[in-house]
C-alpha cells in the first residue's frame, strides 16, 4: 500500500554533547499542502500549492518534478486543456498560462479588483472561465481567446467556492448554499436552492461535478458539532434546481466534503474530511445513497482527478494518494507528509516509530536508512495521535484525540481500536504508558478541565477508568513498576499512586520560580524508583519521592515549552521543546547529573526555530531520536558512514552519495591520501555536464560536498571525481 523511501539527510553538523554526539536532521517533508491537482490522462498530471509551487508527474504520481514558477503567490487552482496547455491561479488576482506542459509559465493580465482566483475551467483551447473572490463579492470571468483577455460575466455578493462546466453549461457554488448556473457560458442565473433539514449552522457547497449536460452533483458542509450531516445535493436540469439527498443514519458522515468524481452515470466518489481523518463515500445508484468506504488516510482531501477506475487525490500536509480500483485500495504517493510528529519511540537500535497529527505513522527498521509512512486507521477513522508506546517490536498502542486508543500487534501494519472513538470534540487521550503488553494506562480528558485515567490489565480488551483526579486536562502518565506511577496535566497539576492506580494522591509543588502561576505540565518520566522529572511550559521539575512533592530545577534562559523528556539512566537525560512566539527558540536540554543542571545543546545550524520539537527517545545503545513538526525527525544515530573520524584515511576513494535516492539535496564524500588537485562534476546519463562542484587544490583527508538538485528533473545522474591518481564515478538517483 505505501512505498519505502530514503530518509533525507539534510545536515551533518557536529554539536558538542555527551560522547561527542552529532545531531542530524534525517527527514524532510515531500510537498506543501495540495491546493488542487489535474490529470490529463492516467499518467500525466500536475498539482499546485502555496508559495507558487507547481509539480508534475508523468508516471501516475510515483515521482514528481518541481517546475520553475515565476511567482511565490499561493496557488489555489490548476486546469489543463491538454498535455501542453494549462492554467493556474491564486492570490493577488494572478493567473498563469503554460503551453509546454508546465516547463514555463507566463502571467496573464486580468481585470483589476478581480480578487483571488479560486477556480479555472476551460471547454477548449480558447473558451474558458474563472471564478474570483474579493470579500464580500465574487466574479465569474470569461475568455474566448485562450486567456489573453477576460470579461466579467457576473458579480455576486457572495463568496464563490467552486466552478465547473460541461461544454458551455456551468455551475458555481457559494458559501451560503446559493448556486448559480449558465446554459450558454455567458448569462448566469441563480438556481432554485435545495431545502436543507433543520439544524444546519452553515451551508457551504465546496465541490461540484457535472456528469452530463443535465446531471450535476454538489457537496460540502458537515460538522460533528450538533451532528450536522455532510451536505449532498443533486440537479437533473443542468443546475436550474437542486434536491437535498438525505442519507440513512448508518451512512451519514459529519465532516466537510470537498471533491467529487463520477466514472459513469451510477458510480461516483466524494472525499473530504477534517476532524477524525479522511472521509470518503461512494454511490452506485447515481447519488441516491452515499456509503462510507475505508480509506487509510488522516488528512483533509481537497481535490480529486479520475479516469475510469483510476483515482488521484490530494490534500493537506502534501498528501497524494492513488487508487486503481475505484477506491477499494489506496497507495500513499507522498514519502513524508508534512504534519506534526507528536511522539516517538525507539524500540531497538534499528526499529523506531514516530506518529502524530492526522494519525501519521512512520516506521524505520534499519536505524533510519529507510522508512515506511502510513496512516493509522482503526474503526474507519484516523484521529490525531498524541502519544505512542511500544512494548516490543510488534506490539504498540496509540492514544488518539476523540478518546480512541488503537493497538497493533504487527509493527504498525494493521491497527485495532481497543477503545472506540467518540463524536465529542472535548474528549481526548493525550498520554499512554505500558509496562508490558497487557498492563498499561492512558490519560487525557473527558471534558474541558476534567481529566481521566484509564487502566487495562489485558492488553486493552477491558478498561477501568477514574476521572477528575487533577481537575484539569491530563497530558502524560508514567509508571516505574506495577505500583508506582505519576500523571501530570495542565494548570500545574500532578498526582501519584503507589498501588497501581487504584488510588491517586495530589502532588505538592514547592519552590517554584517567581511569577509562576499555573503552567501546563506536558510530560513526565522516572529516572529510578523514587526520582522523577516533569517538564512543561518554561520549567523543569524534580521529585525525589515518587511524585509526592516537586521542586523547581533552575535552568538559565529556559524560554521554551517542553513536551518531551527521556532518561537513559539515573544521571543522563534530555528534555526537548520549542518557543513558537517571538523571539522563537529551540530547547534541546541535556543533563548529566540527574536533572540538577541542564544545558541547551540546540545548534541552529541543524535545528530550525520554525520547527517545533515534540518528544525525545533513547535507543538501547544510547542514540537519541527527536520528533518534530512538518514530518521532521532528528537523531544522533550514525548510518551510511557519516560519522567517520577525519583521521586514518589511507586511499583515494569516492563514496556512494547519501541519501540515495535523494530529494532535493544529497551529500558526496571523497577521501584523499595526499594534497591533490581535484575536480568533482555531475553529468546526466547522456554525458552532458550539469554542474561543477569542486575544482581546485584539496588537502589530504575526508571531504564532503552537498549537491542540490532542486532545479533538476527526476532521474539518474553521474558524479565523477578526477585527481592525479585517477578517475572514479558513481550513479545517484534524484526522485521528486
pTM of the model: 0.84
Full strand arrangement of the beta sheet holding 485-489:
474-479, 485-489, 493-497, 505-506
Task: Dump pLDDT digits (tens) for 474-484.
Answer: 999 999 999 99
Q: What is the pLDDT of residue 652?
A: 60
Domain ranges within the chain, ordered by starting residue: 161-293, 653-734
Average pLDDT over the chain reads 91
How sure is the predictor about 357, in pLDDT bands with cuts at 50, 70 and 90? Answer: very high
233 Cβ partners below 8 Å, 6+ apart? 194, 205, 217, 218, 219, 242, 243, 244, 245
Q: Is 436 helix (H, G, I), strand (E, B) or coil?
A: coil
Mean pLDDT over 39-53 rounds to 95
Which three three-digit cell numbers place residue 523? Answer: 510530560
Which three three-digit cell numbers place residue 168? Answer: 458551455
Dist. CA 159–CA 175, nearest whole Å: 6
Q: Are strands 4-6 and 151-156 parallel, antiparallel or unpaired?
A: unpaired
Mean pLDDT over 99-113 rounds to 88
Dist. CA 67–CA 48, nearest whole Å: 10
Q: What is the pLDDT of residue 18?
A: 39
pLDDT score of 687 more than 80: no
pLDDT score of 434 more than 90: yes
How sure is the predictor about 727, in pLDDT bands with cuts at 50, 70 and 90? Answer: low
Task: Dump pLDDT digits (tens) for 517-576.
Answer: 789 999 999 999 999 999 999 999 999 999 999 999 999 999 999 999 999 999 999 999
Given a contact cutoff of 8 angstroms between Cβ atoms, the answer to whether 621 and 350 are in contact is no
How sure is the predictor about 60, in pLDDT bands with cuts at 50, 70 and 90? Answer: very high
Percent of the chain topping pLDDT 70: 94
Q: What is the pLDDT of residue 645?
A: 24
Task: Dump pLDDT digits (tens) for 627-674.
Answer: 999 999 999 987 544 333 222 233 467 888 888 888 999 999 888 877
Q: Which residue has the higher pLDDT, 165 or 514?
A: 165
Dist. CA 568–CA 553, nearest whole Å: 19
Q: Nearest to residue 212, comparing CAs of 284, 285, 264? A: 264
Residue 140: Cβ-neighbour burial (10 angstroms; 0-12, 13-18, 19+): buried
pLDDT score of 442 more than 90: yes
Percent of the chain topping pLDDT 90: 77
Adjacent-strand bridge partners of 304: 313
In which residue are the cell numbers 592525479 written? Answer: 724
CATH of domain 161-293: 2.130.10.10
Q: Which of 102-111, 383-392, 679-688 has the lowest mean pLDDT?
A: 679-688
How sure is the predictor about 198, in pLDDT bands with cuts at 50, 70 and 90? Answer: very high
Mean pLDDT over 198-210 rounds to 96
Q: What is the pLDDT of residue 321?
A: 98
Which three three-digit cell numbers place residue 416? Answer: 485495532
Q: Which fold has domain 653-734?
A: Immunoglobulin-like (2.60.40)
Given a contact cutoff of 8 angstroms between Cβ atoms, the answer to whether 206 and 219 are in contact is yes
537 Cβ partners below 8 Å, 6+ apart? 519, 520, 522, 561, 562
Adjacent-strand bridge partners of 506: 495
Amino acid at each position: 500500500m505505501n512505498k519505502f523511501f530514503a530518509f533525507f539527510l539534510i545536515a551533518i553538523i557536529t554539536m558538542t554533547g555527551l560522547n561527542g554526539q552529532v545531531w542530524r536532521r534525517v527527514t524532510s517533508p515531500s510537498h506543501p499542502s495540495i491546493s488542487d491537482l489535474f490529470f490529463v490522462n492516467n499518467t500525466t498530471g500536475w498539482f499546485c500549492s502555496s508559495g507558487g509551487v507547481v509539480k508534475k508527474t508523468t508516471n501516475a504520481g510515483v515521482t514528481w518534478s518541481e517546475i520553475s514558477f515565476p511567482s511565490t503567490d499561493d496557488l489555489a487552482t490548476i486546469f489543463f486543456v491538454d498535455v501542453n496547455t494549462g492554467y493556474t491561479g491564486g492570490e493577488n488576482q494572478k493567473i498563469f498560462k503554460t503551453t509546454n506542459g508546465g516547463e514555463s509559465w507566463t502571467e496573464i493580465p486580468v481585470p483589476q479588483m478581480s480578487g483571488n482566483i479560486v477556480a479555472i475551467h476551460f471547454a477548449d483551447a480558447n473558451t474558458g472561465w474563472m471564478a474570483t473572490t474579493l470579500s464580500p463579492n465574487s466574479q465569474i470571468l470569461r475568455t474566448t481567446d485562450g486567456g489573453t483577455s477576460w470579461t466579467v460575466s457576473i458579480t455576486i455578493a457572495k463568496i464563490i467556492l467552486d466552478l465547473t462546466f460541461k461544454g458551455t453549461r456551468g455551475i458555481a457554488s457559494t458559501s451560503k448554499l446559493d448556486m448559480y448556473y449558465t446554459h450558454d457560458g455567458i448569462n448566469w442565473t441563480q438556481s432554485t436552492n435545495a431545502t436543507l433539514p433543520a439544524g444546519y449552522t452553515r451551508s457551504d457547497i465546496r465541490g461540484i461535478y457535472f456528469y452530463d449536460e443535465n446531471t450535476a452533483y454538489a457537496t460540502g458542509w458537515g460538522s460533528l458539532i450538533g451532528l450536522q450531516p455532510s451536505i449532498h445535493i443533486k440537479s437533473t436540469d443542468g443546475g436550474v434546481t437542486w434536491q437535498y439527498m438525505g442519507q440513512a443514519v448508518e451512512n451519514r458522515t459529519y465532516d466537510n466534503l470537498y471533491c467529487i468524481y463520477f466514472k459513469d452515470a451510477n458510480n461516483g466518489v466524494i472525499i473530504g474530511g477534517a476532524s477524525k481523518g479522511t472521509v470518503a463515500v461512494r454511490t452506485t445508484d447515481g447519488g441516491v445513497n452515499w456509503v462510507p468506504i475505508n480509506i487509510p488516510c488522516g488528512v483533509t482531501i481537497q481535490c480529486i482527478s479520475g479516469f475510469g477506475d483510476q483515482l488521484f487525490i490530494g490534500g493537506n500536509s502534501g498528501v497524494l494518494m492513488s487508487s486503481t480500483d475505484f477506491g477499494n485500495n489506496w497507495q500513499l504517493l507522498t514519502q513524508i507528509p508534512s504534519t506534526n510528529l507528536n511522539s516517538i519511540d525507539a524500540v531497538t537500535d534499528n526499529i523506531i516509530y514516530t506518529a502524530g497529527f492526522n494519525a501519521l505513522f512512520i516506521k524505520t527498521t534499519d536505524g533510519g536508512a529507510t522508512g515506511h509512512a502510513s496512516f493509522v486507521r482503526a474503526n474507519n477513522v484516523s484521529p490525531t495521535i498524541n502519544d505512542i508506546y511500544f512494548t516490543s517490536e510488534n506490539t504498540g498502542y496509540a492514544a488518539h484525540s476523540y478518546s480512541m486508543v488503537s493497538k497493533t500487534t504487527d509493527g504498525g501494519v494493521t491497527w485495532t481500536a481497543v477503545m472506540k472513538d467518540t463524536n465529542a470534540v472535548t474528549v481526548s487521550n493525550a498520554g499512554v504508558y505500558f509496562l508490558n503488553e497487557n498492563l498499561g494506562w492512558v490519560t487525557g480528558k473527558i471534558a474541558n478541565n476534567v481529566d481521566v485515567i484509564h487502566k487495562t490489565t489485558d492488553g486493552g480488551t477491558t478498561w477501568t477508568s477514574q476521572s477528575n483526579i487533577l481537575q484539569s486536562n491530563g497530558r502524560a502518565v508514567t509508571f516505574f513498576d506495577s505500583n508506582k506511577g505519576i500523571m501530570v496535566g495542565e494548570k500545574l497539576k500532578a498526582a501519584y499512586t503507589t498501588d497501581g492506580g487504584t488510588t491517586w494522591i495530589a502532588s505538592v509543588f514547592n519552590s517554584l520560580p517567581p511569577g509562576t502561576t499555573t503552567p501546563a505540565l506536558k510530560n513526565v518520566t522516572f529516572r529510578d524508583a523514587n526520582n522523577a522529572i516533569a517538564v512543561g511550559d518554561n520549567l523543569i521539575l524534580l521529585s525525589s519521592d515518587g511524585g509526592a512533592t516537586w521542586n523547581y530545577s533552575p535552568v538559565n534562559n529556559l524560554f521554551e515549552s517542553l513536551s518531551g523528556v527521556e532518561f537513559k539512566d539515573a544521571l543522563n537525560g534530555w528534555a526537548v521543546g520549542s518557543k513558537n512566539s517571538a523571539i522563537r527558540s529551540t530547547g534541546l536540554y541535556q543533563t548529566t547529573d540527574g536533572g540538577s543542571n541542564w544545558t541547551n545543546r540546540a545548534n541552529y545550524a541543524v535545528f530550525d526555530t520554525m520547527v517545533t520539537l515534540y518528544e525525545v527517545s533513547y535507543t538501547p545503545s544510547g542514540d537519541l531520536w527527536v520528533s518534530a513538526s512538518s514530518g521532521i525527525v532528528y537523531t544522533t544515530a550514525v548510518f551510511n558512514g557519516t560519522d567517520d573520524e577525519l583521521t586514518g584515511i589511507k586511499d583515494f576513494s569516492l563514496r556512494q552519495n547519501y541519501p540515495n535516492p535523494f530529494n532535493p539535496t544529497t551529500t558526496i564524500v571523497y577521501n584523499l591520501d595526499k594534497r591533490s588537485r581535484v575536480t568533482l562534476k555531475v553529468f546526466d546519463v547522456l554525458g552532458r555536464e550539469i554542474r561543477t562542484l569542486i575544482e581546485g587544490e584539496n588537502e589530504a583527508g575526508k571531504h564532503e560536498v552537498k549537491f542540490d538538485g532542486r532545479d533538476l528533473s527526476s532521474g539518474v545522474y553521474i558524479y565523477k571525481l578526477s585527481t592525479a591518481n585517477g578517475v572514479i564515478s558513481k550513479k545517484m538517483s534524484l526522485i521528486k
